A and B are shown apart, each in its own frame.
Chain A
Amino acid sequence: MLINHPLLGPRDASEFIYKGDAALIHRPDPTAPDAQEVFIDYGYLRDNPAGAHRELWFHEQGDRSWLVVTRDTVTHEITEVELARDVARREGRSK
Chain B
Amino acid sequence: MSQVNRLNGGLIDQSRSISFRFDDRWMKGHPGDTLASALLANGVRLMGRSFKYHRPRGPLTAGSEEPNAIVELRDGARQEPNTRATTAELFDGLTARSQNRWPSLAFDALSINDRLSSFFAAGFYYKTFMWPAAFWEKLYEPMIRRAAGLGSLSLKADPDNYDKGYLHCDVLIIGAGPAGLAAALTAGEAGLSVILADEDSLAGGRLNAESFAMGQQAGHAWAAETAARLAAMPNVRLMTRTTVLGAFDHGIYGALERVSDHLAVPAEGKPRQILWRIYSRRAILAGGATERPIVFENNDRPGIMLASAMRAYANRWAATPAQEIAVFTNNDDGHRTAADLTAKGVLVAAVIDTRPDAPKGQGYEVIAGGTITNTSGRLGLAQVEVTDAKGNRRQIKCGALGVSGGWNPNVSLTCHQRGRPAWDVDIHAFVPGGTLPEGMVVAGAANGVFSTHAALHAGAEAAVGIAADLGHTAPSPDLPEAEDAPVAITPFWHVSGAKRAWVDQQNDVTAKDIKLAHQENFTSVEHLKRYTTLGMATDQGKTSNMAGLAIMAEVAGKSIPEVGTTMFRPPYTPTAIGAFAGRSRGTDFRPIRKTPSHFWAEEQGAEFVEVGMWLRAQWFPRAGETHWRESVDREVLQTRRSVGVCDVTTLGKIDVQGSDAAEFLNAIYCNGFAKLAVGRTRYGLMLREDGIAMDDGTAGRLAEDHFVVTTTTANAVGVYRHMEFVRQCLYPDMDVQLISTTEAWAQFAVAGPRSRELLRKIVDPEFDMTNEGFPFMACGEITVCGGLRARLFRISFSGELAYEIAVPTRYGDAMIRRLMEAGREFDVVPYGTEALGVMRIEKGHAAGNELNGTTTALNLGMDRMVSTKKDSIGAVLSRREGLNEPDALRLVGLRPVSPDKPVPAGAHLMTKGSAVDAAHDQGYVTSACYSPNLGHQIGLAFLKSGHERMGEILRLVSPLTGIDHEVEVVSAHFVDPEGDRLRA
Contacts and interface: CB of A to CB of B under 8 A. Distances in A.
Interface of A: 1-2, 12, 17, 19, 24-25, 27, 30-31, 35-36, 39-40, 42-44, 56, 58, 60, 64-66, 74-78, 83-86, 88-89, 93-95
Contact of B728 (A12, A31, A85): A85
B724 A2 contact: no
A11 B880 CA distance: 41
A94 B731 contact: yes
B731 A95 contact: yes
B279 A2 contact: yes
B921 interface: no
B730 A93 contact: yes
Contacts of A65: 728
Nearest to A31: B871
A31 B872 CA distance: 12
Contacts of A24: 725, 729
B729 A85 contact: yes
B721 A60 contact: yes
Given A66-B728, A78-B250, 18 more contacts: A1-B252, A27-B689, A39-B689, A39-B877, A42-B689, A43-B877, A56-B725, A64-B724, A75-B418, A84-B728, A85-B729, A86-B732, A88-B730, A93-B729, A94-B731, A94-B733, A95-B660, A95-B663
Interface string B653-664: 000000010010
12 contacts: A1-B250, A27-B730, A30-B871, A40-B877, A43-B690, A58-B721, A58-B725, A66-B724, A74-B418, A75-B417, A85-B728, A89-B733
A25 B689 CA distance: 12
A88 B660 CA distance: 18
Contacts of A77: 438
A56 B22 CA distance: 57
Contacts of A66: 724-725, 728-729
Nearest to B690: A43
A19 B876 contact: no
A12, A36, A66, A95 — most chain B CB neighbours (10 Å):
A95
B593 to A, nearest CB: 16
A74 B435 CA distance: 12
Nearest to A13: B249
A36 B729 contact: no
Contacts of A25: 729-730
B153 interface: no
Please name the 7 residue pairs, one residue from A and one from B, whose CB atoms are nearest each other, closest first: A94-B733, A2-B250, A88-B732, A30-B871, A1-B249, A85-B732, A76-B249
Given A1-B249, A17-B721, A39-B689, A88 B728 contact: yes
Contacts of B279: 2, 12
A56 B730 CA distance: 12
B144 interface: no
Nearest to A74: B418
A88 B875 CA distance: 22
A95 B417 CA distance: 43
A85 B735 CA distance: 13
A1 B417 CA distance: 12
Interface string B722-755: 0011001111111000000000000000000000
A30 B876 CA distance: 7
B920 to A, nearest CB: 30
A11 B871 CA distance: 36
B968 to A, nearest CB: 38
Nearest to B726: A27
B632 to A, nearest CB: 36
Contacts of B417: 75
A94 B250 contact: no
Given A1-B249, A35-B876, A95-B660, A19 B733 contact: no
A85 to B, nearest CB: 4
A19 B732 contact: no
A58 B879 CA distance: 29
A11 B342 CA distance: 57
A54 B279 CA distance: 25
Contact of B689 (A43, A78, A88, A89): A43
A25 B776 CA distance: 39
Contacts of B734: 95
B741 to A, nearest CB: 14
Contacts of A1: 248-250, 252
A88 B729 CA distance: 6
Nearest to A64: B724
B730, B871, B876 — most chain A CB neighbours (10 Å):
B876
B248, B250, B438, B689 — most chain A CB neighbours (10 Å):
B250
Contacts of A58: 721, 724-725
A12 B166 CA distance: 11
Interface in B141-173: none
Interface in B526-563: none
Contacts of B732: 85-86, 88-89, 93-94
Nearest to A83: B728
A64 B252 CA distance: 24
B725 A93 contact: no
Contact of B877 (A36, A64, A78, A83): A36
